[in-house]
Structure 1
């Protein structure tokens, strides 16, 4: 029997919520966990989140991880290029990320980020993930553009202001990026947004694409379970 596709919204350095959510969902061999990007910035432990993702398949044997790229990973990587890029990243929550790498009692520097983290950010992240029925992406899609031709602006940056029309593939989009202040996913016939504000006193959400089951956890270690048709 095929495994589940388990989408996880924007983690943003919230390692406690991430660990609590994984324990609640309990991925099983054959499942595919699709992390939708924005692993870093704003929350207290971006370093711990990246460590967890890097060793994920070792810690959870038989479960596959697909890690998508978010705009915050792009900003972090761009921060190596110059002062202006680094300032932009720091202003968008990168200061919290940098602090998670600071040696005890010392100031933080981008040089403290280890090589294996840069390798993960540069080489392991995907632009999107596609199944027979769903498209997983960080931010958004043009409805009339094939997936492989979508511009970076849509994939990583474009907010979901209005309910998106169906993609030409007929597949439902599952995304993050646009924070839902209600703490609940935004659901339409053609798309689901599961960025539910984990780093801003909200929830980190996991959605089973096949069944519509939802699990949520927060940085206080609280959990709740519901279904898409209840939202």
Structure 2
């Protein structure tokens, strides 16, 4: 049995299918999706539909990202927030053209019930963005930080990795978990097209919302596969490259 984590997708169903085909998943494998399934490329509704069907056939852990939360709010209320609209929301709304009310309701229920984090039996934590409590995710006061926080990753970027875990200066947040897997902040922001590992944290958002790719990683071996770049798969679109 293998466990794979799959980074941000942002409406790129073609990229997701490429990654799953390269992973050659088996029925006994576990797939952990790291959030942000919508907002960017033209197949957001189709990605949600695909994940619903996939979760009926495979063991899938599907974590909620901030863009999924915003899409959920739109499906529930019909209210279009301008900032969401400008950051991929328009493409998501367009992708729902032709979807019946019953299907939209199914997607809403799916999004509402997505977990904000997942902790496996080996004490490996998976969540979209990060957390701030030095006592761990169970003690986080503001749960929206699970899909919004960037401070965890920003701390790692300036961390002195020579500091030992026994040191009083070692970040307390990192001590609670064997490994932490996140997305949310594209590694391509740092001119890195592949997953980035600092201390015990792995960032597997490789910029699919923009000019990057979708990544799937085997969390035991750390071997990873990637899709083609999203602009090459959707040559007539801009994604969030605006």
Q: Distance in 2 between matches of 1:120 and 1:183?
A: 31
Is 1:119 paired with 2:100? no
Residue correspondence of structure 1 range 87-126 to structure 2 within 5 A:
87-103=82-98, 114-123=104-113, 125-126=114-115
Deviation at 1:136, TM superposition (A): 0.5
Count residues with an aligned counterpart: 209
| Aligned partner (choices 175, 178, 183) of residue 185 of structure 2 | 178
Residue correspondence of structure 1 range 71-86 to structure 2 within 5 A:
71-79=66-74, 80-81=76-77, 83=79, 86=81
TM-score normalised according to structure 2 size: 0.79
Q: Distance in 2 between matches of 1:196 and 1:56?
A: 22
Equivalent residues of 2:31, 2:59 under 8 A apart: yes
Q: Distance in 2 between matches of 1:167 and 1:27?
A: 30
Residue correspondence of structure 1 range 151-230 to structure 2 within 5 A:
151-159=142-150, 160-163=153-156, 165=171, 167-181=174-188, 182-218=192-228, 219=230, 220=232
**SS at 1:55's partner residue?**
helix
TM-score normalised according to structure 1 size: 0.82
Equivalent residues of 2:132, 2:149 under 8 A apart: no
What's the C-alpha RMSD, in Å, of the aligned pairs? 2.2
**SS at 2:25's partner residue?**
coil
Equivalent residues of 1:68, 1:126 under 8 A apart: yes
Q: Distance in 2 between matches of 1:74 and 1:122?
A: 8
| 1:174-195 alpha-carbon deviations (Å, 9 max, x no partner) | 0000011122111112101000
Deviation at 1:77, TM superposition (A): 2.1
Is 1:129 paired with 2:111? no
Q: Distance in 2 between matches of 1:143 and 1:175?
A: 16
Is 1:142 paired with 2:140? no
**SS at 1:161's partner residue?**
helix
Flag the 1:170–1:101 CA change in 2: closer, same or farther, 3 A. Answer: closer
Deviation at 1:155, TM superposition (A): 0.7
Equivalent residues of 1:8, 1:204 under 8 A apart: yes
Deviation at 1:129, TM superposition (A): 0.9
Residue 16 (structure 1) aligns with: 14
Deviation at 1:200, TM superposition (A): 1.2
Identify unmatched segments of 5+ residues in structure 1: 104-108, 222-231
Equivalent residues of 1:40, 1:73 under 8 A apart: yes
Is 1:52 paired with 2:50? yes
Equivalent residues of 1:98, 1:110 under 8 A apart: no
Residue 225 (structure 1) aligns with: none
Deviation at 1:31, TM superposition (A): 1.1
